Amino acid sequence: MVTALVDDVLLVAVGVAGLWVGADQFVAGASRLARRLGVSGLVIGLTVVSFGTSAPEFAVTVDAALTGQADISVGNVVGSNVVNLGFVLGGTALVRRLPVDADLVRRDGALMVGTVLVLLVMLRDLTVSRVEGALLVLALGGYLVHLARADGEGLGPESDPEQFRPSDAPRLLGGLAVVVVSAHVLVTGAASVAADLGISEWAIGTTVVALGTSTPELVTSLAAAYRGRANLAAGNVVGSCIFNALGVLGVASVLDPLSVAPAAFTGTLWLLGVSVVTTVLLWSGRALSRPEGAVLVALNALDWVVAFLGR
């Protein structure tokens, strides 16, 4: 029993490490490509960086869905979004106060809350069908079109000495390959840990797996904050949350309709509350202060306590 648990925990650790390394390589190459194309800093954060750092969530969620572990699949999306807003955004604000672009609050914060509301409605019967998944993907497409138009209308390109190099192409593709393989390792290990400890796959998905797949967002946001690029830090988190709810869960349910435990609905309800609180805090002062960051971290910690008590 103990030996098996240790082996499974090591498997999870290897999966998380692989996700971090792979996502880091993927984001580095993709970000330089976007800057080469003249994309603004806010939009890079909302799309290229946030989607790149969400590659672990995408790979893990799809892998879990295809292997019949729907609770890990949906739990990873819901849990990752809570971690992004709590430990990642809140934790980054604890390190450094985050001024935020008005567009991020008005447009993207509202959309983030809206996507959680839609997800909550879809989960009322504890399933996400292929049709519902397709609608989520279409909504993501509409969001990307809107972002592209907004960027073309007035958000100027951000100067950056880093330019896309031919050597970045294999780095980008290789990073993506590492993410996919590591995702399967993490899902396998997480499911085994849940069985070893007698806890639900939902609990393990919303905590351990979610934290593991959110590691790239944490590293990216902290690095951006230290470099004084608050838009990239906050945009990365908000964009990841939108992409997770629409793109990640949408594609997973299109590939294989998802049926989940009742905890999924209550967990998504909690995510809605955290999303609303985050948007209100950002709206109140167009910045996230250290005390406000502490509130978000506390909400995330409380969510974990509830998840493990419910087992």
CA–CA distance, 178 with 23 (Å, rounded to integer):
8
Query: Measured at the alpha carbon of residue 264, what is the angle toward residues 94 and 18, in degrees to the nearest 5?
Result: 55
pLDDT > 90: what percent of the chain?
36
CA–CA distance, 8 with 139 (Å, rounded to integer):
37
HSE (side-chain half, CA atoms, 13 Å) at 254: 12
Give the pLDDT of residue 151: 58
Give the pLDDT of residue 233: 74
Closest to 64 in 3D by CA, of 53, 80, 46: 80
Q: How many residues does the chain have?
A: 311
Which residues are bridge partners to 287 per DSSP? 99
Give the pLDDT of residue 158: 46
195-226 residue pLDDT tens:
888 888 898 889 888 888 887 778 777 777 77
Asked if residue 161 is part of any domain, the answer here is no
Asked if residue 113 is part of any domain, the answer here is yes
Asked if residue 268 is part of any domain, the answer here is yes
Asked if residue 64 is part of any domain, the answer here is yes
β-pair type (98-99, 287-288): antiparallel
Place of tokens 């406000």: 292
CA–CA distance, 262 with 139 (Å, rounded to integer):
26
Give the pLDDT of residue 282: 83
Residue 105: give the domain boundaries. Answer: 2-155+166-310
- Cβ neighbours of 241 (radius 10 Å): 32
Asked if residue 104 is part of any domain, the answer here is yes
pLDDT along the chain (311 residues), means of 10: 80 84 74 67 63 80 90 93 94 86 76 95 95 96 80 48 63 79 83 84 88 80 74 78 93 95 93 94 81 96 88 56
Domain count for the chain: 1
Could you tell me the pTM of the whole model? 0.82
Which residues are bridge partners to 259 per DSSP? 127
Residue 107 CA from chain centroid, whole number = 18
Query: Measured at the alpha carbon of residue 294, what is the angle toward residues 288 and 296, in degrees to the nearest 5?
Result: 75
Alpha-helix residue ranges (DSSP H) falling in 37-129: 41-44, 50-53, 55-66, 70-83, 91-95, 102-103, 110-122
Give the pLDDT of residue 155: 43
Asked if residue 160 is part of any domain, the answer here is no
DSSP-based three-state secondary structure for 127: strand
Give the pLDDT of residue 241: 92
The average confidence (pLDDT) of the chain is 83
User: Taking the chain, what is the end-to-end CA distance rounded to the nearest angstrom?
Assistant: 19
For residue 123, the domain's CATH number is 1.20.1420.30
Give the pLDDT of residue 251: 95
Place of tokens 């946030």: 50
149-207 residue pLDDT tens:
765 554 444 444 455 566 667 777 788 788 778 878 888 888 888 888 888 889 888 98
The dihedrals phi and psi of 288, each to the nearest 5 degrees, come to -115, 115
